[in-house]
Structure formats: C-alpha cells, structure tokens
C-alpha cells in the first residue's frame, strides 16, 4: 500500500470487508432457517436456501445477496481475470436474488439455476486459484501455506456440493432422502466453505507476521 495513514486505513477496511463477506456467507443459512422457524412457528426447513425467497425472510435473502454481490463487484485482485471473476460473481449473485426459483415461469427458474451454478463455480475458482496466489519472487510464509490448504479445502467442498446437488436432481425421487432437505444442507455447506475462505482471506486467522 501507500503511506501509513490513509493507505493503511484503506487496507484495513478492505480486510474488514472480506471478513464481513465471510461472516455473511456463514450466517445466511442459519439466519434464514432460524428466522423462518420463529416467524412461521414451525421447525421445518425449506427445500433450498433459495426457497426462502417465498417466505417472510425474502428481504434478508435478497439483501445479503446484494451486499455480497456489491463487494464482489468492487473486489480487485492482482490481474484482470481476478476482476472479471468478481464481476461475474456479482452478476450471478444478483441473478440468484432477482430471478427466484419459486417463480411459476420456467425461464426465470432457469436463470436462477444457471446463476446459482455459475456463482458457486466462480466462488470455488476464487478459493482454488485466486486466493492461493502469491507475489512473484516471494517465498510463501508458513501462514500462507496453511491458508492455501484451507482455501483449497473450501474450494473442493464447494465443487463437491455443486456436483452432489446436480446428481440429486437427476436421480429418481427418494422421499426419505427428500424429507431431510439435502439441497438446503448442500447449499449451506457450500456457503459455509465460501464464508470460511473469505474470512481467512481477511487475515483474521493465520495472518502473516
């Protein structure tokens, strides 16, 4: 960064925003589920996280996605492709928020599905590729190596969750499994992995000395 005044404050603020995005990703499934339990007075999960759009938790669902989308749009990495990935993730986050899966229109549901899939693929790309980079000519610190292991683990979790959701959707219906809301849990695990990767990227844990 630049000087030790405004430049340092901007850097600290950027790290804080990364932590905030991480916290939002982790809390979103929990807030939606608990909020719905309280408002509906019934302990029952929705089919997926996106289905909370059709409940009283709609504003929370849309609002959090807009905040995450805004930050991803503002995200600046080392190279142009980092910015492109952030812009793409932003557009997809808005697509998930504005084109609900609960719509009666097949076209709107298709946009939602594509947006959600590309969003998680892009977020896994952040964790697996962009976050593991290091400055050219610098040897990674032990803390950086630890962070990279966490990033890769988070990226793999997101990919496994995406693949599992796709597999579940093409398999014959299993009522016993469906009753356990597997899509909700798989999306939650993917969001938690996303949140952890950004929380660690904010240098909250395993920060370089």
pLDDT at 74: 83
Separation of alpha carbons 47 and 185, rounded Å: 9
pLDDT at 83: 86
**Is the separation of the CB atoms in 24 and 74 below 8 Å?**
no
pLDDT at 16: 82
Note the Cα 153 to chain centre separation in Å.
14
**Is the separation of the CB atoms in 152 and 200 below 8 Å?**
no
**Is the separation of the CB atoms in 75 and 107 below 8 Å?**
no
Q: Per-residue pLDDT tens for 155-188? A: 999 999 999 999 999 989 898 999 999 999 999 9
Name the pLDDT band for 7 (thresholds 50, 70, 90).
low
Separation of alpha carbons 65 and 196, rounded Å: 17
pLDDT at 6: 58
**Contact partners, residue 89, CB within 8 Å, separation at least 6:** 69, 72, 119, 122, 123, 126
Task: Give the predicted TM-score (pTM) of the model.
Answer: 0.89
**How many CB atoms within 10 Å of residue 199?**
22
pLDDT at 11: 53
Whether the per-residue pLDDT at 4 is higher than 70: the answer is: no
**Contact partners, residue 7, CB within 8 Å, separation at least 6:** 1
Total H helices, total E strands in the chain:
7, 0
Q: Per-residue pLDDT tens for 13-64? A: 778 888 888 999 999 999 999 999 999 988 899 999 999 999 999 999 999 9
Whether the per-residue pLDDT at 189 is higher than 50: the answer is: yes
Of 81 and 109, which is predicted with more confidence?
Answer: 109
Whether the per-residue pLDDT at 76 is higher than 80: the answer is: no
């Amino acid at each position: 960064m630049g000087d030790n005044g405004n430049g340092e404050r901007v850097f600290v603020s950027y790290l804080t925003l990364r932590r905030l995005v991480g916290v939002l990703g982790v809390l979103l499934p929990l807030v939606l589920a608990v909020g719905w339990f309280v408002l509906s007075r019934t302990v029952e999960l929705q089919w997926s996280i996106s289905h909370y759009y059709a409940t009283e938790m709609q504003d929370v669902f849309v609002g959090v996605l807009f905040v995450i989308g805004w930050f991803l749009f503002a995200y600046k990495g080392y190279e142009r492709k980092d910015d492109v990935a952030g812009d793409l993730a932003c557009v997809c986050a808005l697509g998930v928020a504005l084109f609900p899966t609960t719509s009666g229109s097949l076209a709107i549901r298709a946009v939602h599905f594509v947006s959600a899939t590309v969003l998680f693929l892009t977020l896994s790309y952040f964790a697996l590729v962009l976050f593991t980079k290091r400055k050219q000519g610098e040897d990674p610190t032990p803390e950086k190596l630890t962070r990279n292991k966490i990033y890769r683990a988070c990226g793999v979790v997101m990919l496994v969750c995406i693949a599992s959701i796709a597999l579940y959707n093409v398999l014959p219906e299993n009522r016993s499994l469906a009753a356990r809301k597997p899509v909700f849990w798989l999306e939650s695990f993917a969001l938690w992995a996303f949140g952890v990767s950004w929380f660690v990227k904010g240098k909250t844990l395993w920060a370089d000395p």
